[in-house]
Amino acid sequence: MSYPFRKVLLGTLMAGALSLGANAFAAQAPAPAATKAPKTAKMAAAGPTDQEIADAKAKGEVWVNTSTKAYHKSDDKYYGKTKHGKFMSEEDAQKAGYHVSGSHAAKKPSAAKK
């Protein structure tokens, strides 16, 4: 682009912007950041309440970790404590493809050493 052409183009753009007033620049202002949608009660970062945990234990439900696909029984230290999870029956957890957590996995009996 030659210098005179740039000067004319810039002058035309400036004149157009000035004739529109402040509205010309308002359209170019960045949009405010979108707010996050509230999380559902089951997926809240804080996890279930103590009352929800007690109710689930009374019903015999397990806590499934939806991230690792493992489930925790009521005597497991992670029962109701992982970030991503929900309560369901052990049967439903197995049907959904969840497996028992490592702390409850069946351990092989060790062979006695001679």
Which tokens belong to 59? 């019903």
Nearest to 62 by CA among 19, 39, 92: 92
Q: Do 66 and 86 contact (CB within 8 A), yes or no? A: yes
pTM of the model: 0.53
pLDDT by 10s per residue, the chain, length 114: 556 656 666 666 666 555 655 555 555 656 666 666 555 444 445 789 999 999 999 999 999 999 999 999 999 999 999 999 999 999 999 999 999 998 665 555 555 555
Nearest to 100 by CA among 113, 91, 112: 91
Domain residue ranges of the chain, discontinuous segments joined by +: 1-27, 50-104
